[in-house]
Amino acid sequence: MARSKTSKGWLQEHVNDHYVHMAQKDGYRSRAAYKLLEINEKDRLIRPGSVVADLGSAPGSWSQVAARLVGDKGRVFALDILPMNPIAGVDFIQGDFREDAVLDEFVQLLGGRALDLVISDMAPNISGMSAIDQARSFHLTELALDFAREHLKPGGHFLVKVFQGSEFQAYLKAMRDLFSDVQTRKPKASRDRSSEIYLLGKGRR
Protein backbone atom coordinates (compact mmCIF):
# COMPACT_ATOMS: atom_id res chain seq x y z
CA MET A 1 0.00 0.00 0.00
CA ALA A 2 1.42 3.39 -1.01
CA ARG A 3 1.99 5.91 1.72
CA SER A 4 -0.02 9.10 1.49
CA LYS A 5 1.77 12.45 1.46
CA THR A 6 0.53 13.15 4.94
CA SER A 7 1.73 9.87 6.44
CA LYS A 8 5.32 11.08 6.73
CA GLY A 9 4.18 14.16 8.63
CA TRP A 10 1.95 12.06 10.83
CA LEU A 11 4.79 9.64 11.51
CA GLN A 12 7.11 12.48 12.50
CA GLU A 13 4.56 13.93 14.90
CA HIS A 14 3.92 10.47 16.31
CA VAL A 15 7.64 9.99 16.99
CA ASN A 16 7.82 13.41 18.64
CA ASP A 17 4.79 12.57 20.75
CA HIS A 18 6.91 9.79 22.17
CA TYR A 19 8.83 12.45 24.15
CA VAL A 20 5.62 14.07 25.33
CA HIS A 21 4.41 10.71 26.65
CA MET A 22 7.79 10.04 28.25
CA ALA A 23 7.75 13.43 29.97
CA GLN A 24 4.32 12.70 31.42
CA LYS A 25 5.47 9.26 32.58
CA ASP A 26 8.78 10.47 34.03
CA GLY A 27 7.34 13.54 35.73
CA TYR A 28 9.08 16.20 33.62
CA ARG A 29 7.26 19.41 32.79
CA SER A 30 8.05 19.30 29.07
CA ARG A 31 9.66 17.15 26.38
CA ALA A 32 12.67 19.54 26.43
CA ALA A 33 13.98 17.56 29.42
CA TYR A 34 15.17 14.87 27.03
CA LYS A 35 17.30 17.32 25.04
CA LEU A 36 19.33 18.12 28.14
CA LEU A 37 19.37 14.50 29.33
CA GLU A 38 20.74 13.33 25.97
CA ILE A 39 23.41 16.04 25.80
CA ASN A 40 24.40 15.43 29.40
CA GLU A 41 24.66 11.69 28.83
CA LYS A 42 27.17 12.37 26.06
CA ASP A 43 29.10 15.24 27.63
CA ARG A 44 28.77 14.76 31.41
CA LEU A 45 28.11 18.45 32.06
CA ILE A 46 26.10 18.14 35.28
CA ARG A 47 27.71 16.35 38.20
CA PRO A 48 26.81 15.90 41.86
CA GLY A 49 27.62 19.14 43.68
CA SER A 50 27.60 21.31 40.51
CA VAL A 51 26.39 24.91 40.67
CA VAL A 52 24.22 25.61 37.62
CA ALA A 53 22.39 28.62 36.16
CA ASP A 54 19.36 27.87 33.96
CA LEU A 55 18.45 30.85 31.74
CA GLY A 56 14.98 30.78 30.18
CA SER A 57 13.94 28.04 32.56
CA ALA A 58 10.11 27.95 32.40
CA PRO A 59 8.22 25.67 32.58
CA GLY A 60 11.14 24.06 34.38
CA SER A 61 12.10 20.75 32.77
CA TRP A 62 15.80 21.68 32.43
CA SER A 63 15.83 22.84 36.06
CA GLN A 64 14.22 19.55 37.07
CA VAL A 65 16.94 17.58 35.27
CA ALA A 66 19.71 19.76 36.70
CA ALA A 67 18.38 19.64 40.27
CA ARG A 68 18.16 15.84 40.18
CA LEU A 69 21.70 15.52 38.83
CA VAL A 70 23.46 18.03 41.13
CA GLY A 71 21.89 16.47 44.21
CA ASP A 72 21.73 17.88 47.71
CA LYS A 73 25.23 19.39 47.59
CA GLY A 74 24.65 21.27 44.34
CA ARG A 75 22.57 24.34 43.55
CA VAL A 76 20.45 25.40 40.58
CA PHE A 77 19.58 29.05 39.94
CA ALA A 78 16.85 29.68 37.37
CA LEU A 79 15.47 32.75 35.60
CA ASP A 80 12.61 33.30 33.18
CA ILE A 81 10.26 36.06 32.07
CA LEU A 82 7.40 33.59 32.61
CA PRO A 83 6.29 32.21 35.99
CA MET A 84 7.60 28.81 37.04
CA ASN A 85 6.16 26.56 39.71
CA PRO A 86 8.63 25.76 42.51
CA ILE A 87 11.12 22.93 42.14
CA ALA A 88 12.98 21.47 45.12
CA GLY A 89 16.61 22.59 45.05
CA VAL A 90 16.02 25.40 42.56
CA ASP A 91 16.16 29.13 43.36
CA PHE A 92 14.01 30.97 40.80
CA ILE A 93 13.59 34.61 39.81
CA GLN A 94 10.86 35.75 37.41
CA GLY A 95 11.92 38.63 35.19
CA ASP A 96 13.20 39.76 31.81
CA PHE A 97 16.83 38.68 31.35
CA ARG A 98 17.37 41.71 29.07
CA GLU A 99 16.75 44.15 31.94
CA ASP A 100 19.72 45.20 34.06
CA ALA A 101 17.68 45.28 37.28
CA VAL A 102 16.57 41.66 36.79
CA LEU A 103 20.09 40.55 35.96
CA ASP A 104 21.41 42.34 39.05
CA GLU A 105 18.84 40.56 41.22
CA PHE A 106 19.86 37.22 39.71
CA VAL A 107 23.54 37.91 40.32
CA GLN A 108 22.74 38.76 43.95
CA LEU A 109 20.97 35.41 44.23
CA LEU A 110 24.18 33.67 43.14
CA GLY A 111 25.85 35.16 46.21
CA GLY A 112 29.29 35.35 44.64
CA ARG A 113 29.35 31.70 43.60
CA ALA A 114 31.29 30.89 40.45
CA LEU A 115 29.23 28.61 38.23
CA ASP A 116 30.21 25.19 36.92
CA LEU A 117 27.64 25.35 34.13
CA VAL A 118 25.34 27.84 32.41
CA ILE A 119 22.48 26.37 30.36
CA SER A 120 20.24 28.51 28.16
CA ASP A 121 17.16 27.31 26.30
CA MET A 122 15.91 30.88 25.82
CA ALA A 123 13.96 31.81 22.72
CA PRO A 124 12.15 35.07 21.93
CA ASN A 125 8.43 35.36 21.37
CA ILE A 126 8.06 34.55 17.68
CA SER A 127 6.71 37.37 15.49
CA GLY A 128 6.66 35.33 12.29
CA MET A 129 9.10 37.73 10.59
CA SER A 130 12.30 35.72 10.33
CA ALA A 131 14.75 38.66 10.25
CA ILE A 132 13.25 40.13 13.44
CA ASP A 133 13.03 36.74 15.15
CA GLN A 134 16.65 35.91 14.30
CA ALA A 135 17.85 39.28 15.62
CA ARG A 136 15.91 38.84 18.88
CA SER A 137 17.17 35.29 19.28
CA PHE A 138 20.81 36.26 18.80
CA HIS A 139 20.44 39.16 21.21
CA LEU A 140 19.38 36.68 23.89
CA THR A 141 22.23 34.30 23.06
CA GLU A 142 24.73 37.18 23.22
CA LEU A 143 23.41 38.16 26.66
CA ALA A 144 23.69 34.53 27.78
CA LEU A 145 27.31 34.38 26.57
CA ASP A 146 28.09 37.64 28.40
CA PHE A 147 26.59 36.14 31.55
CA ALA A 148 28.68 32.96 31.13
CA ARG A 149 31.81 35.06 30.59
CA GLU A 150 31.15 36.91 33.85
CA HIS A 151 30.10 34.05 36.11
CA LEU A 152 31.57 30.74 34.93
CA LYS A 153 34.55 29.43 36.82
CA PRO A 154 37.67 28.56 34.81
CA GLY A 155 37.03 25.20 33.17
CA GLY A 156 33.24 25.70 33.36
CA HIS A 157 30.84 24.85 30.55
CA PHE A 158 28.11 26.67 28.60
CA LEU A 159 25.21 25.12 26.66
CA VAL A 160 23.06 27.48 24.58
CA LYS A 161 20.25 27.11 22.06
CA VAL A 162 20.88 29.00 18.83
CA PHE A 163 19.10 29.32 15.51
CA GLN A 164 21.22 29.24 12.38
CA GLY A 165 21.23 32.67 10.76
CA SER A 166 23.47 35.46 9.53
CA GLU A 167 25.09 36.07 12.93
CA PHE A 168 25.85 32.42 13.64
CA GLN A 169 29.49 32.44 12.50
CA ALA A 170 30.35 35.55 14.53
CA TYR A 171 28.73 33.99 17.60
CA LEU A 172 30.62 30.75 17.05
CA LYS A 173 33.88 32.71 16.91
CA ALA A 174 33.03 34.52 20.17
CA MET A 175 32.43 31.16 21.84
CA ARG A 176 35.70 29.75 20.51
CA ASP A 177 37.51 32.76 21.96
CA LEU A 178 36.08 31.97 25.42
CA PHE A 179 36.12 28.15 25.50
CA SER A 180 38.83 25.64 24.75
CA ASP A 181 36.39 23.40 22.84
CA VAL A 182 33.12 24.32 21.08
CA GLN A 183 30.83 21.70 19.57
CA THR A 184 27.32 21.54 18.11
CA ARG A 185 24.62 19.27 19.44
CA LYS A 186 21.26 18.37 17.83
CA PRO A 187 19.52 16.06 20.30
CA LYS A 188 16.97 13.56 19.05
CA ALA A 189 14.22 15.30 21.02
CA SER A 190 14.66 18.43 18.86
CA ARG A 191 12.02 18.46 16.16
CA ASP A 192 13.52 17.83 12.73
CA ARG A 193 11.75 20.83 11.26
CA SER A 194 13.24 23.14 13.87
CA SER A 195 16.31 25.17 12.90
CA GLU A 196 17.49 25.10 16.52
CA ILE A 197 20.82 23.60 17.44
CA TYR A 198 22.77 23.75 20.65
CA LEU A 199 26.29 25.08 20.96
CA LEU A 200 28.36 23.61 23.76
CA GLY A 201 31.37 25.51 25.04
CA LYS A 202 33.61 23.30 27.18
CA GLY A 203 36.41 24.51 29.39
CA ARG A 204 36.08 28.26 29.98
CA ARG A 205 39.52 29.77 29.43
User: What percentage of the chain reaches a pLDDT higher than 70?
Assistant: 93
Of 163, 51, 159, 146, nearest in space to 98 by CA: 146
pLDDT bin (cut points 50, 70, 90) of residue 1 is very low
The answer on pLDDT for 198 being more than 80 is yes
Binding site feature residues: 60, 62, 80, 96, 121
Backbone angles phi and psi of 56, in degrees to 5: 75, 50
| 62 pLDDT above the threshold of 80 | yes
Q: Which residue in 161, 186, 188, 202 is the catalytic one?
A: 161
Check: CB of residue 37 under 8 Å from CB of residue 46: no
Helices first, then strands: H and E counts in the chain: 6, 7
d(C-alpha 16, C-alpha 8), whole Å: 12
- Span 72-78, mean pLDDT? 97
Q: Looking at the domain that runs over 5-204, which CATH code has it been given?
A: 3.40.50.150
Residue stretches of the annotated binding site for S-adenosyl-L-methionine: 60, 62, 80, 96, 121
Whole-number mean pLDDT of the chain? Answer: 92
- Please report which helix (H) or strand (E) contains residue 182, including its range: strand 179-185
- d(Cα 91, Cα 57) in Å, to the nearest integer? 11
Taking only the tens place, the pLDDT of each residue in 128-184 is 888 888 889 999 999 999 999 999 999 999 999 998 888 899 999 999 999 999 999
pLDDT of residue 155: 98
According to the model, what pLDDT value does residue 132 have? Answer: 85
- Express each pLDDT in 9-49 by its tens digit: 656 665 657 898 899 999 999 999 999 999 999 999 999 99
Residue 36: is it exposed, middle or buried by C-beta count within 10 angstroms (0-12/13-18/19+)? buried
Contact 133, 127 (CB under 8 A): yes
**Confidence (pLDDT) at 169:** 94
Q: Where are the domains of the chain?
A: 5-204
- Find which of 5-9, 11-15, 75-79, 125-129 is predicted with most confidence, using mean pLDDT: 75-79
Strands 115-120 and 152-163: parallel
Half-sphere exposure at residue 87, Cβ-oriented, CA atoms within 13 angstroms: 29
- pTM, two decimals, is 0.90
Q: What is the mean pLDDT of the segment spanning 58-62?
A: 98
Catalytic site residue 161? yes
